[in-house]
Amino acid sequence: MTTTTTPATPPALSVAGLTVRYTARGEGTTAVDDVGLDIAPGQCLALVGESGSGKSTIGLAVQGLLTDPQGRGGGRVETRGTVTVGGTRLDPSVETGWRGVRGHRVTTVFQDPMSSLDPTMTIGRLLGLVTGSAAETRRWLDQVEIREPATVARSYPHQLSGGMRQRVMIALALARRPALLVADEPTTALDVSVQAQILKLLTREREQLGCGVLFITHDLGVARAVCDEVAVMRSGRIVERGPTAQVLERPTADYTARLVASRLTLDTDRHRPVGLPEPTVVASMGEALDLEHAELERRWARKALRWDDFGTSRPRTVNAPVYALELARVSKSFATGGFGRRTRKAVLHDVDLRIAAGESVALVGESGSGKSTILRIAAGLEKADRGDVVVGHRSHDGNSGGEGVQVIFQDAGSSLTPWLSVRSLLLERLGNTATGKALDARQREEHVRLALERVALPASVLDVKPAELSGGQRQRVAIARAVVVPPALLLCDEPTSALDVSVACSVLNLLNLLRHDLGLPMLFVTHDLAAARVIADRVVVISQGRIVESVPSDDLGTAITSDYGRRLLDAVLN
Amino acid sequence: MPSSTDTEGRTGDPVDAVAAPSSSTVRRRRPKKPTAGTISLGALAVVVLLAVIGPWVSPYATNIPSGEPLLPPLSGGHWLGTDNLGFDVLTRVLAGTRTSLFAAVVVTVASALAGLLIGAVAGFAGGWADAVLMRITDLFLAFPATIVAMAIVAALGPSLRSSMIGIAIVWWPLYARIARGEIRRAAGSLHVEAARIGGTRGRRLMMRHTVPTVLPTVLVTASLDIGGVIMVLASLAFIGLGSPAPSPELGLMASAGLPYVLDSWWIPVMPAIAVAVLSLIFNYLGDALRSVLRAGGA
Amino acid sequence: ACGGSTPGAGTASGTSGGTLKLAFLGGISTPDPDTAYDGPELNLVNSAYEGLLDYRAGQAEPELVGRLATQWKANDDNTEFTFTLREGVTFHDGTAFDAAAVKASFDRRLDVDSGPAYMVKGVKSVKTSGDHEVTITLDAPNAGFLDLLASPFGPKMVSPTALEEHPWTGEEDNWFATHDAGTGPYQYGAFDQGVSYALSAYDGYWGDEPGYTDVDFDVVSNMSTVQLQLEKGEVDGLIGYTDSSAFTTLKSKPNLATYAFPSMQTPTLFVNPQSKELGDDETRTSFVSGIDFAALAQQALGDTGTSTTQVFPENLLPEADNQQKITHDSGALAQLASGKLSGGTISCGYAESSSSAQALCDNVTAMLNSAGIKAESTGYASGTYFPALAKGADGPDITFFSGFPDTANADAWGTVFYTPDGGLDLFGAEVDGVSGLLREAAKTGDTDLYSQVAAKVSESAYWYSVANSKGTAVFQDDVSGVDKAWNPVITGVLQLQTLSPSGS
Amino acid sequence: MVRFTLSRLGSLVLVLFSLSVLIFVVSRFGGGDPVHAYVGANASPDAMAAARVRLGLDQPVLVQYWDYLTRLVQGDFGLSVSTKRPVSDELAARVPATLELMIATVVLAVLIGLALARAYALRGRAGAVIRFVLFSAASAPSFLIATAGMLIFFAQFGWLPVSGRTSYGASSGLSGMFVLDGLLTGNIPYAFDALKHLVLPAVAASLGPGVALARVLADGLSTSLSSGYARTARSLGETEPQLLRRHGLRNAAGPALSLLGVQIGMMLSSLVVVEEIFSWNGLGQYLVKAIGAADTNSVATISLLLGAVYVVVNTLVDLGLALLDPRVRLS
Ligand SMILES: Nc1ncnc2c1ncn2[C@@H]1O[C@H](COP(=O)(O)OP(=O)(O)OP(=O)(O)O)[C@@H](O)[C@H]1O
Ligand SMILES: Nc1ncnc2c1ncn2[C@@H]1O[C@H](COP(=O)(O)OP(=O)(O)OP(=O)(O)O)[C@@H](O)[C@H]1O
Ligand SMILES: [Mg+2]
Ligand SMILES: [Mg+2]
> Which of D4, D228, D329 shows the shortest C-beta gap to A116?
D228
Give the model's pLDDT for residue C59: 93
Partner residue facing A51 (CB), from B12, B21, B200: B12
- Nearest in space to A522 (alpha carbons), one of A483, A549, A572, A480: A483
Q: Do residues C219 and D279 touch, judged by C-beta distance below 8 A? A: yes
H runs (alpha helix) in A484-518: 501-518
**Assigned domain for A277 exists:** no
Chain A hits for B212, CB-CB cut-off 8 Å, are: 419
The set of protein residues with a Cβ atom below 6 angstroms from ligand 2 is: A 334, 336, 347, 365, 367-373
Residue nearest atom 20 in ligand 2 by C-alpha distance: A368
Task: Using the predicted structure, report yes or no on whether residue A80 has a pLDDT greater than 50.
Answer: yes
Any idea which ligand is nearest the CA of B2? Answer: 1
* Same domain membership, residue A308 and residue A246: no
pLDDT classification of C5: cutoffs 50, 70, 90 = very low
Find chain D residues with C-beta within 8 A of A340's C-beta: 1-3
With 0-12 / 13-18 / 19 or more C-beta atoms within 10 angstroms meaning exposed / middle / buried, residue C164 is: exposed
Whether B246 and C369 lie within 8 Å, measured CB to CB: yes
CA distance D154 to chain C (A): 8
Q: Tell me, what's the pLDDT at B213?
A: 82
Q: Is A71 in the pocket of ligand 1 (CB under 6 A)?
A: yes
Measured from the CA of A376, which atom of ligand 2 is nearest?
A: 18
Q: Which fold has domain D93-330?
A: MetI-like fold (1.10.3720)
Strand residues in chain D grouped as ranges (E): 79-80, 85-86
**Whether D256 contacts D213, CB under 8 Å:** yes
- Determine whether the interchain pair D229/A117 forms a contact, defined as Cβ–Cβ distance below 8 Å: yes
Ligand 2 mean position, distance from CA A347 (Å): 7
Residues A499, B10: C-beta atoms closer than 8 Å: yes
Q: Determine contact, residues C270/C463, Cβ cutoff 8 Å.
A: yes
Name, in order, each residue with C-beta under 8 angstroms of D75's C-beta and a sequence gap of 6 or more.
none
Give the contacts of A274 (CB within 8 A, at least 6 positions apart).
Answer: A262, A264, A268, A505, A508, A509, A534
Is there a single domain that holds both residue A561 and residue A424? yes
B254 Cα: distance to centroid of ligand 3 (angstroms):
59
Closest residue, chain D, to A120 (C-alpha): D325
Q: Which residues are registered as beta bridge partners of C378?
A: C349
Q: What is the CA radius of gyration of chain A?
A: 26
In a domain, A43, yes or no: yes
Considering only alpha carbons, which residue of chain A is nearest residue D252? A120
pLDDT(C7) > 60: no
CA of residue A410 to ligand 4 center, whole Å: 9
User: Do A414 and A469 share a domain, yes or no?
Assistant: yes
Domain co-membership, A409 together with A536: yes
Please report the pLDDT score of residue B298 as a whole number. Answer: 37
- Would you state the pLDDT for residue C365? 94
How far, in Å, CA of D257 to CA of D317, rounded? Answer: 6
Q: Among A231, A185, A53, A60, which residue's Cα sits nearest to residue B12?
A: A53
| One domain for residues A488 and A564 | yes
Q: Are A and C close enough to touch, i.e. 3+ CB pairs under 8 angstroms? A: no
Which tens digits make up the pLDDT trace of A512-551?
888 888 888 899 998 888 888 888 989 999 888 889 888 8
What is the extent of the structural domain holding A22?
Answer: 2-105+180-186+210-262
CA D57/CA D49 separation, integer angstroms: 9
CA dist D244 and D262 (Å) reads 25
Q: Can you list the residues of chain D whose pLDDT is less than 70?
A: 1, 30-31, 121, 123, 329-331
> Can you give the pLDDT at residue C249?
87
Order the strands of the A323-336 sheet from edge to edge: A343-356, A323-336, A386-391, A394-395
DSSP annotation of C392: G
B269 touches chain D (CB under 8 A): yes
- Using the predicted structure, report yes or no on whether residue C2 has a pLDDT greater than 50: no
Residue A193 lies in a domain: no
Is chain B adjacent to chain A, meaning 3+ CB pairs within 8 angstroms?
Answer: yes
Nearest to C497 by CA among C234, C174, C182: C182
Backbone angles phi, psi at A530, to 5 degrees: -65, -45
The amino acid that residue D265 corresponds to is: G
Looking up residue A494, the CATH number of its domain turns out to be 3.40.50.300
Residues of D in contact with B261 (CB under 8 A): 147, 151
In a domain, A163, yes or no: no
pLDDT in tens, A156-199: 888 887 788 888 888 888 888 888 999 988 887 777 777 888 88
What ipTM does this complex have? 0.79
Q: Which of C221, C224, C229, C352 to mutate to test the interface with B (most CBs of B within 10 A)?
A: C224
Q: Are residues A217 and A308 in the same domain?
A: no
DSSP H helical ranges for A82-234: 123-131, 134-143, 149-154, 162-174, 192-209, 220-226
pTM: 0.82
Does D151 sit within 8 Å of B255, measured CB to CB?
Answer: no
pLDDT tens track of chain B, all 298 residues?
333 333 333 333 333 333 333 333 334 344 455 677 788 888 889 988 988 888 888 888 888 888 888 888 888 888 899 998 899 999 999 999 999 899 999 999 999 999 999 998 998 887 888 889 988 888 888 777 767 777 777 677 778 888 888 888 888 988 998 888 888 888 878 888 888 888 888 888 888 888 888 888 888 888 888 888 888 888 888 777 778 878 888 888 888 888 888 888 899 999 999 999 998 888 888 888 877 776 554 3
Query: D277 to chain B nearest CA, in Å?
Result: 10
Please compute the mean of the pLDDT values over residues A75-97 and round it to a whole number. Answer: 86
CB contact under 8 A, C380 and B158: yes
The ligand minimizing its distance to the Cα of A60 is: 1
Flag whether A463 is in a domain: yes
* Predicted pLDDT of residue A315: 58
Is residue A283 a part of any domain in this protein?
no
Predicted pLDDT at D330: 64
Which of the listed residues A194, A343, A371 should we mutate to test ligand 2's pocket, taking the one with most ligand atoms within 8 A of CB? A371
Within 8 A by CB and 6+ apart from B227, the residues are B104, B278, B279, B280, B281, B282, B283, B286, D139
Task: For chain C, give percent helix, strand, coil, nearest 5.
Answer: 35, 25, 45
C106 contacts C34 by C-beta, under 8 angstroms: no
- Please tell me whether the peptide bond between C62 and the residue prior to it is cis, using omega within 30 degrees of 0: no
CB contact under 8 A, B245 and C228: no
- What's the CA gap between D164 and D302, in Å, rounded? 21
Are β-strands A405-408 and A44-49 bridged in parallel, bridged antiparallel, or unpaired?
unpaired
Query: Which positions in chain D touch A169 (Cβ < 8 Å)?
Result: 232
CA distance C346 to C276: 9
Q: Quick check: is A489 in a domain?
A: yes
Give the whole-angstrom CA distance, residue D317 versus residue D323: 10
How far is C151 from C38, CA to CA, in rounded Å? 11
Specify the number of domains making up chain A.
2
* Secondary structure E strands in C266-341: 266-271, 305-307
Q: Are B197 and A396 in contact (CB under 8 A)?
A: no
- A14 lies in the same domain as A94: yes
Alpha helices in C137-177 (DSSP H): 145-150, 160-165
The ligand that comes nearest to the alpha carbon of residue A58 is 1
Sequence-distant (6+) residues with CB within 8 A of A79 are A18, A19, A20, A21, A61, A66, A67, A92, A93
CA distance C245 to B70: 10
Residues A415 and A477 grouped into a single domain: yes
* Residue A136 and residue A109 in contact, taking contact as beta carbons nearer than 8 Å: no
Strand-pair partners of C192: C196
Q: Across chain A, which distance is largest between two alpha carbons, in Å? A: 82
Please say whether the beta carbons of B212 and B218 come within 8 A.
no
**How many angstroms separate the CA of residue D306 from the nearest CA in chain B?**
6
Contacts of D278 in chain C (CB under 8 A): 221, 225
Inter-CA distances, C165 with A214, C113, C156, D96, Å? 95, 19, 18, 32
Q: What is the pLDDT of residue B19?
A: 35
> Which of A20, A21, A22 should be mutated for ligand 1, with most atoms under 8 A from CB?
A22
Determine, for residues C379 and B240 on separate chains, whether the beta-carbon distance falls below 8 Å. yes
State in Å: Cα A166 to ligand 2 middle. Answer: 20
**Interchain contact, A108 vs D329, CB within 8 Å:** no
A129/D contact by beta carbon, under 8 A:
yes
- Do B290 and B40 contact (CB within 8 A), yes or no? no
* Distance (Å) of CA C208 to CA B194, B222, C186, C212: 96, 69, 12, 12
Per-residue pLDDT at A99: 84
- Alpha carbon of B202 to ligand 3 centroid (Å): 40
Q: Distance between CA B128 and CA D212 in Å, rounded?
A: 35
| pLDDT band, very low/low/confident/very high, at A339 (cuts 50, 70, 90) | very low
Residue D99's alpha-carbon distances to A555, B26, D77, D189, D298, in angstroms, are 78, 55, 20, 21, 17
Task: State the Cα–Cα distance between residues C268 and C252, nearest whole angstrom.
Answer: 29
Q: Whose CA is nearest to atom 9 of ligand 2?
A: A373
CB-ligand 1 contact for A52 (6 Å cutoff): yes
CA distances from B167 to B150, B160, C327, D7, D221 (A): 9, 11, 47, 29, 32
A268 inside domain? no
CA of A367 to the centre of ligand 4 (A): 7
Q: What local confidence, expressed as pLDDT, does residue B115 receive?
A: 93
Query: Is the confidence at residue C267, as pLDDT, over 90?
Result: yes
Distances (CA, A) of C273 to B157, C429, C466, D260, D270: 21, 6, 19, 53, 41
Look at B244 and C347 and tell me if their CB atoms are within 8 Å. yes
Cβ–Cβ below 8 Å for C1 and D190: yes
User: Rounded to whole angstroms, how far apart are CA atoms B56 and B62?
Assistant: 10
The verdict on A226 and A368 lying in the same domain is: no
Same-domain pairing of A368 and A254 = no
Q: Tell me the CA distances in angstroms from A435 to A358, A380, A516, C28, one per residue in order.
A: 20, 21, 21, 82
Q: Given CB atoms, is B136 within the 8 Å cutoff of chain D? A: no
Same domain, A370 and A257: no
Distance CA A502, CA A254 (A): 13
**How do the domains of chain D map onto residue ranges?**
2-73, 93-330
Q: Which of residues 222-251 of B touch D (CB under 8 A)?
A: 227, 231-232, 234-235, 238-239, 251
Q: What per-residue confidence (pLDDT) applies to C212?
A: 93
Q: Do B11 and A51 touch (CB under 8 A)?
A: yes
Q: Is the pLDDT of residue A277 over 70?
A: yes
